[in-house]
Amino acid sequence: MKNALAILFCFASIVAIGQNNDYAINLGAYVPDQIENVPASAKKMLINKLGQLVTANGISDNQYNSRFIITPNIVVATKEIMPTAPVKVVLVLDVTLYIGDGISGTLYASETFNVKGVGTTETKAYMQALKRLKPKNEAMQDFIARGKDKIIDYYNTNCSQIQKEASILENSGQVEEALGLMLGIPASSSCFEKSERKTKALYIKAANRDCKMRLTEAQAIWSANQDIEAANEAARILSSVLPEAECFSQVKALFSKIETRAKELQDRDWNYKLKVLDATKSYYDSAFEVSMARAKNQPSTVMYNVRGWY
């Protein structure tokens, strides 16, 4: 079960990290469907607001299935209908935010913020109140810092177990999942440096495997039909192969053959190009790019355990 959970979250954990290039910790905004009486449009805004709060405080906003979550509970403290023209709704909300491990159900930090909103509708009043959650508020900064410290503690404490889980995934053929799990380790944890060698080895292994798969796929397409549509499709596949992969020389040879034929088949320029090595980019950055693309295709089926938080 633990390994299955690792698979669910490994790709999600790398997404926002890759966007920051600092290998920071990441946190997913989670607003349960059953959150009480919050209008749908205000709920959508709340998810975005939570993301803004964490990114402004040095944590990456994970838009996918993050293991660690920030989640709210909202209680209407007071509600007034003002007999003005137009009528105004005045809401005072107690917004309690929670940070924790959404898989184990461990709560790390919580804080309640009292905010007021006024609008011509209840939804507008909600949205006005939620806008008053400020990332630079001292209590907000302290709350997020406490959660961040706990997440780093998780990686420090469980480093050996995470590495072990990655090895199990790798040995069962789930190389990309193993890589994703390792890429989720934040640089600010003591586990990061301990894991670099293994992470890089997994990246190369994943790149080699991906190269072989894409090369085989492109060869099959080109062998079946050598028209411009096949050339475009095969080139699209080859253009995503990482230049670090062992079979990249074969990719270049096939691409060159297809490119020559494509130019014979059409007068206009052919825009496909192979990836090239970027000396300014670390293997981590390259690995993130690959894993981000994969993460976007992963199903969002996570059921979070927040029992006892609210």
Residues 36, 235: Cα–Cα separation, whole Å: 51
* Cα–Cα–Cα angle for 174, 182, 300, rounded to 5 degrees: 65
Residue 262 one-letter amino acid: A
Q: Report whether the peptide linkage leading into residue 86 is cis, meaning its omega lies within 30 degrees of zero.
A: yes
pLDDT over 70, % of the chain: 87
125 burial type by CB count under 10 A (0-12 exposed, 13-18 middle, 19+ buried): buried
pLDDT at position 265 over 70: yes
pLDDT at position 204 over 70: yes
The reported pLDDT for the residue numbered 34 is 66
Residues 98, 80: Cα–Cα separation, whole Å: 28
List the structure tokens of 65.
Answer: 């299935």
Tell me the angle at which helices 228-238 and 248-265 cross, rounded to the nearest 10 degrees. 150
Answer for the pair 66, 100: CB distance below 8 angstroms, yes or no: no
The reported pLDDT for the residue numbered 169 is 95
The reported pLDDT for the residue numbered 115 is 96
pLDDT at position 292 over 90: no
Q: How confident is the model at residue 263 (pLDDT cuts 50, 70, 90)?
A: confident
Residues 50, 34: Cα–Cα separation, whole Å: 17
The reported pLDDT for the residue numbered 258 is 94
Count of Cβ atoms closer than 10 Å to residue 223 Cβ: 10
Backbone angles phi, psi at 200, to 5 degrees: -65, -40
pLDDT tens digit string along 63-113? 666 789 999 999 999 999 998 889 999 999 999 999 999 999 999 999 999
Positive or negative, the CA dihedral 33, 38, 44, 47 is negative
pLDDT over 90, % of the chain: 55
The reported pLDDT for the residue numbered 285 is 78
pLDDT tens digit string along 236-258? 999 989 898 999 999 999 999 99
